[in-house]
Amino acid sequence: MDVSNINKLFNQDLSAVNLGLESFAENLRNEGVKAVQVQWKPPAGGNKEIAELLDKLDTIRKKVDVDAANKKAAEIINNGKPTVIDISTAGKAIPGMRKNLVLHAGPPVEWERMSGPTRGAVIGGLVYEGLASSYEEAEKMAASGEIDFEPCHHHSTVGPMAGIVTYSMPVWVLENKAYGNKAYATLNEGLGKVLRYGAYGDEVLERLKWMESDLAPILKKALDLHGELDMKNIIAQILQMGDEGHNRNRAGTSIIIRELAPYLVQLDEPKEKIVKVFEFLNANDHFFLNLSMPSAKCIIDAAAGIEGSTIVTTMARNGTDFGIRMSCTGDQWFTAPAPKVEGLYLPGYTEDDAALDIGDSTITETVGIGGFAMAAAPAIVKFVGGTPKDALNVTTRMYEITETENKIFQIPALDFRGTPTGIDILKIIETGILPAVNTGIAHKTPGIGMVGAGLVKPPEKCFNDAFKAFVEKYS
């Protein structure tokens, strides 16, 4: 009988982890022993059915090497090298894009079930595209069945808030240089009355038209002169400049301006046009969001479809449903009704004005930035509920549900620890910890725009269902 580990313990300082009655830990601390208290919760948030399935894990692990699969997925995420290679249009660049197709954020949803902001953006998009001549006509057309609706995510694309993408819209084209896959997103329209918040007035469409005719071509020329943008490097920088890449994009936007400015001023374009481009970029702190999102998409798509992997590859909402996808089940969505956002409201708005959670921007959290990197963005902790210490705790908690730490994306306040990377469904189920997501809040009525920002608690059901599907698949 080998008990050398026990004899080793006799010669070590005791260091305890306490699960249960906290006074046991306090007593040890009284005696000078290090004791860490675990804030334990029943697995799967107390869901019995799910907790029982957890017992099958031992058997499943014998059939499929989940740990190796997740390690592989995490490695792919870590290796991802998102790079901006072009600015094009949706019609030209996005695979499967066609005239009568409208892409939207989140899991699949038909017109009848679409949220206010999504409908508003669809109406605006159809008029912008010239498919309808009036907003009324657009609404009828959308309901008629003439128009196809598909999630951005089905086309390697991501869109913030309503996430509407139509044929003529300019898009960023990114390539994951490590794995060759591409990702797309429109250019960010700015704040206020914008299509992504469901606004569709003339002012909105004029701006979209200007983006198509002026902004995108000019930026493309500047980009061509500059050469490809290494987004991995830029995201690493912004995390050290107070951004987290979802709700704070000020540093990222500044870097993009800095990168492109020397080339923008070289362009053979009328001065007023260049000035307008600069003014537009400068006025919109979130310009970078439409780069951080496709960067994240580009990174995570390479980790989809790995046999046995329980890593989350998508979290997305459409204002009606919250949906996730898991690596080993590929394209299958696990959805639940979209939750409310707990947040702070802009003056004049209240919770009653808020649409339900919406947008593909949770792709940032999916790769470990955004809410997962809250510790990097102390400036916005008030917006999402507290003190800088809270922000550190949010990020620290996410390490409990992730497979690894990012090698390049680091957080200064955590002593340059890598961001929590590779959300593992099994860890979510076992710990009952849900991914930390922060987000903007749209007005529920189409056409009004952003009314606040805050924190979202993703529905447990999505993760429970994914876990059930995993167990079923490998039992």
Partner 1 sequence: MKRVLVEKDSYYDSVFLMLINREVQQIEGVTDAVVSMGTDVNVTLLKETGLADSEIEGVTPNDLIVAVEGESEEVVEAAIAKAKELLDKKSSSEDEGENYKPSSLEGALKVSPDANLAIISLPGEFAPREVKKALNKGLHVMLFSDNVSVESEIELKNIAKEKGLLMMGPDCGTAIINGKPLCFANVVRPGDIGVVGASGTGLQEITCAIEKFGGGITQGIGTGGRDLKNAAIGGTMMLMGIEALKNDDATKVIVVVSKPPADEVAVKVIDALRKTGKPSVIHFIGMEPGEQEGNLYFAGNLEEASGMAVALSKGEKYEKRTYTIDRAEIDAIIERETKNMSAKQKYIRGLYTGGTLADEALIMFDREIGGIYSNNQSKEEFIPPDPNKSIKHTIVDLGDDVYTVGRPHPMIDPSTREDRIKIEAEDEEMAVMLLDIVLGYGSHPDPAGAILDSLKDAKKKAESRGGYLSIVTSITGTEGDFQSIHETKNKLESIGCVVMPSNYQASTLALEIMRKVEK
Q: Check binding of 5 to partner 1 (CB under 8 A).
A: yes
Q: How many residues bind partner 1 (CB under 8 A)?
A: 58
68 binds partner 1 (CB under 8 A): no
Per the CB < 8 A criterion, the answer to whether 252 and 212 are in contact is no
Q: Does 60 bind partner 1 (CB under 8 A)?
A: no
In the window 344-373, what residues touch partner 1 (CB under 8 A)?
none
Backbone angles phi, psi at 261, to 5 degrees: -55, -50
10 in contact with partner 1 (CB under 8 A): yes
Q: How far is the CB of 376 from partner 1 (least distance, A)?
A: 16
Question: Tokens in use for 102?
Answer: 């409208």
- How far from the centroid of its chain's Cα atoms is residue 4's Cα? 48
Task: Count the Cβ atoms, other than its own, within 10 Å of residue 290.
Answer: 24
Per-residue x/- mask for partner 1, residues 17 to 46, rule CB under 8 A? xxxxxxxxx-xx-xx-xxxxxxxxxxx-xx
Nearer to partner 1, 78 or 253 (CB): 78
Minimum separation from the CB atom of position 7 to partner 1 (A): 5
What is the distance between the alpha carbons of residues 53 and 467, in angstroms, rounded to a whole number? 9
Name the minimum Å distance from CB 424 to partner 1: 11
Who's near 390: CB < 8 A, 6+ residues apart?
A: 381
Least distance to partner 1, CB of residue 417, Å: 10
Closer residue to partner 1 (CB): 49 or 352:
49
CB of 431 to partner 1, least distance (A): 4
Give the span between the Cα atoms of 263 and 249, in whole angstroms: 22
Which 392-411 residues touch partner 1, going by CB under 8 A?
392-393, 396-397, 399-400
CA separation, residue 371 to residues 1, 17, 41, 83, 111 (Å): 49, 28, 22, 22, 30
Q: Nearest approach, Cβ of 10 to partner 1 (angstroms)? A: 6
Q: Is 303 left (phi over 0), alpha (psi -120 to 50) or beta?
A: alpha
Between 135-144 and 116-128, two packed helices, what is the crossing angle to 10 degrees?
Answer: 110
Compare residues 19 and 265 and give the one whose CB is closer to partner 1.
19
Give the interface with partner 1 as residue ranges (CB under 8 A): 1-7, 9-10, 12-25, 27-28, 30-31, 33-43, 45-48, 54-55, 387, 389-390, 392-393, 396-397, 399-400, 427, 430-433
